[in-house]
Amino acid sequence: MLRKILFITIITFILAVAGYFTVLYYATYSEGDRTGELIKFSSKGYVFKTFEGEISQGISGAQIFRFSVLDSDAEVISDLKKYQGQYVKITYIERYRTFPWWGDTRYYVTHVQQEKSPHFAR
């Protein structure tokens, strides 16, 4: 009887942990677009190398949006390297939580495209 209870407890715990990580992996809190000047994009980290970036959404960098990019998004990484210093529109998803090997933020860019800067639209 004690073995059966212990077995059920262990299986329940394993299923709960697996369910928690499954929700973290697949569930998103929000998604959207932001535009601004891509002022930083780099790979950083001691144990886990992740891709991190920033766009400036205000005059003189008053409002900074920080984001991460998953290693599996090679096209996004390539485009961000190419557009550094330029005005871009990024599409992102926000997750409830993150894993250390995914990045420093909860915002993950899924698409990037170059845009015309509103500052030079005269």
pLDDT tens for 32-56 read 999 999 999 999 888 888 999 999 8
Question: 83: closest CA among 54, 103, 58?
Answer: 54
Matching residue, tokens 């900074």: 64
Tokens 């970036």 label which residue?
Answer: 53
Give the per-residue pLDDT at 25.
81
pLDDT averaged over the chain?
A: 89
Find the distance separating the first CA and the last CA of the chain, reported in whole Å: 80
Q: Does pTM surpass 0.75? A: yes
Q: What is the CATH number of domain 28-120?
A: 2.40.50.140
